[in-house]
Chain A
């Protein structure tokens, strides 16, 4: 058994190409401001990877990934906010040592659920775990009862809406509609400087590539094949001795944890977190960029996240109202004309031509479609 079955050469090559693009080409080509923007778009790549596993493979459409992105982002923001609210820095408040928005809301002591966020270690563990735990609870409640398909999608939407309302309503505990702002340092390291932004960009890029490799490993394992099998013939999988609900819960939690990491990296690079990244619209946008890129291709979905978010920044500055319509149109066009998104376009039209062009060189190397090799050996 070689690792090529799990990480086929061609896929790894494409991931390396992507790594070269985001870690070498873009940092050389872009100014710090634009690079920071790309870094922000790339945080949505984590969400896209999760959606490929959860939606593309397992067929579970979640219209609530903003929940998990937001929870991860808030976990990070709570730590940073507490560090920015030291007693010394908040002397002028009526209760020094608590975040400013709490003071404005007449709160006089740090709420219990904020306290553990004094610890960076706790915050870093919470970033993937809090979203995964919530996903676990939702997953057990839904999948054990065989709630699926459209009902599940609607319920995730409802939870996204509830969470937004909760965050906005509980201003004293959450910073309300403005979110948690004015984040400054992480263990004394100023995250607002150009240098820090560059370091964070690379940290984000490395995490994203690592996530791609982990997701690739999951997809290549038997678990990955069971997810696809489940999407097609749930009953057959069940009657082959698998607990279908457990596999769905895993896929959903995996996607949630990744989204949480994306959210935390967003907070770090952008410098704040607010309910506008949590609710219904951002959650739907996440599904759209995943679909545009190709929901059955990890890299496709990540490129989709980059492309759609780039387009959003570019167009929504001039025509903010039209953007939503443009986005909707794009989504419908993709679903109707290219159900496999950009990745499908690449696979069906570009790759064959490239292949013909590169064939002479490739002959020499053992070309590896790991699946076929494993199957016929």
Chain B
């Protein structure tokens, strides 16, 4: 079975088990260019693990992940990132000891080798990009602040900002609005609407209002398998989905 080249991302027959427990089981799905795909499913369904498999954090025991026609499953993590896959973690993952500016700057896609980093200059391009992104993620007044002083929501935004500086073709977000206040949630939804243009996005989310707001298509995961896929209306009406997920 080979991937169609017009898919941005093709996941086929992907499996992984932890100590005999199949967390992801013969999973296949396809993401188009510029598509916003939301993955939903009960806790422990294997959603985070799927993202881990795509970005190389966890190695698949079987199956393939093809991104723009290139096989990802055997590449080291940093090569997968350089191929254009960006990943936000479920808990905010930022550098507390560095300033907001420095946090964003590190993601700038230049000077990624050891000596490249040594020779890296904070030039006009870098400053402008960081300024722009900081504006987008509501942190423009805080560039000099140490990241540890940010609120939880601001940290989430900062990490999203770090991904934007990286400018990936596929953006993977793991529960981007979790732990946010109502007003922060609204702002984040707004933010996501803006940043998901011109790229494909894979989002894990529990908040159904939010899902309805952004999803082009929804994939429902249960026990490491896809149990339903399609528009939100379609999966909502699927009795299997109602039984394992929405019914609760």
Q: Contact residues of A with B, CB < 8 Å?
A: 1, 5, 218, 221-223, 225-226, 228-229, 232-233, 235-244, 246-247, 250, 371-372, 374-377
- Roughly how many angstroms separate A377 CA and B144 CA in the complex, as a whole number? 10
B109 interface residue, CB < 8 Å from A?
yes
B144 near A221: Cβ-Cβ < 8 Å:
no
Which of the segments B10-18, B39-47, B75-83, B190-198 contacts the partner chain? B75-83
Q: Which of B78, B106, B111, B143 contacts A376 (CB 8 A)?
A: B143
Question: B1 interface residue, CB < 8 Å from A?
Answer: no
- Across the two chains, which residue of chain A brings its CB closest to B85? A239
B99 CB–A CB distance under 8 Å = yes
Q: How far is the CA of A77 from the CA of B127 in the complex (A)?
A: 50
Are A236 and B117 also in contact (CB < 8 A) when A1-B123, A241-B109 are? no
Contact between A239 and B98 (Cβ–Cβ < 8 Å)? no
Q: Which residue of A lies closest to B165 (CB)?
A: A240
B77 touches A240 (CB 8 A): no
B138 beta carbon closer than 8 Å to chain A = no
- Cα distance, A223 to B115, chains bound together (Å): 8
Among A232, A235, A241, max chain B CB count under 10 A is at A241
Check B89–A236 contact: CB distance below 8 A.
yes
Complex Cα gap A164–B166 (Å): 47
Residues of B within 8 A of A223 (CB): 114, 117-118, 120
Report the separation of the CA atoms of residues A87 and B93 in the bound assembly, to the nearest whole angstrom: 65
Give Cα A374–Cα B102 distance, bound, in whole angstroms.
Answer: 10
Q: Which residue of the partner chain, among A229, A232, A233, A241, contacts B78 with CB atoms under 8 Å?
A: A241
CB contact under 8 A between A226 and B107, given known A240-B166, A377-B127: no
In whole Å, how far is B80's beta carbon from the nearest beta carbon of chain A? 8
Complex alpha-carbon distance, A247 and B117, angstroms? 10
Measured in the bound complex, the distance between the Cα atoms of B94 and A85 in whole Å is 59
B78 touches A235 (CB 8 A): no
Measured CA separation A377–B122 after assembly (Å): 11
Taking the closest CB of chain A, its distance from the CB of B43, in whole angstroms, is 22
Contact call A235/B57, Cβ cutoff below 8 A:
yes
Known contacts A232-B97, A240-B166; is-contact A225 B77 (Cβ 8 Å) = no
> Within 8 Å CB of B144, what residues of A?
372, 375-376
| A225: contacting residue among B82, B106, B143, B166, CB under 8 A | B106
Q: Given the complex, which residues of B lie within 8 Å of A376, measured CB to CB?
A: 101, 143-144
Q: Indicate if the CB atoms of B112 and A241 lie closer than 8 Å.
A: yes
In-complex Cβ contact of A239 among B55, B97, B111, B117 (8 A): B55
Minimum Cβ distance to chain A for residue B221 (Å): 22
By a CB distance below 8 angstroms, the chain A residues around B120 are: 221-223
CB nearest neighbor in A for B114: A250
Q: A291 → chain B, closest Cβ, in Å? A: 18
In the complex, the answer to whether A222 meets B77 with C-beta atoms within 8 Å is no
Known A222-B117, A242-B112: A1·B98 in contact at CB below 8 Å? no
Q: Would you list 16 pairs from A and B whose C-beta atoms are within 8 A, ordered by A residue? A: A222-B105, A222-B106, A222-B111, A222-B120, A223-B114, A225-B102, A225-B105, A232-B96, A235-B57, A236-B95, A239-B55, A242-B112, A242-B117, A247-B117, A375-B100, A376-B144
* Max chain A Cβ within 10 angstroms of own Cβ: one of B57, B89, B118: B118
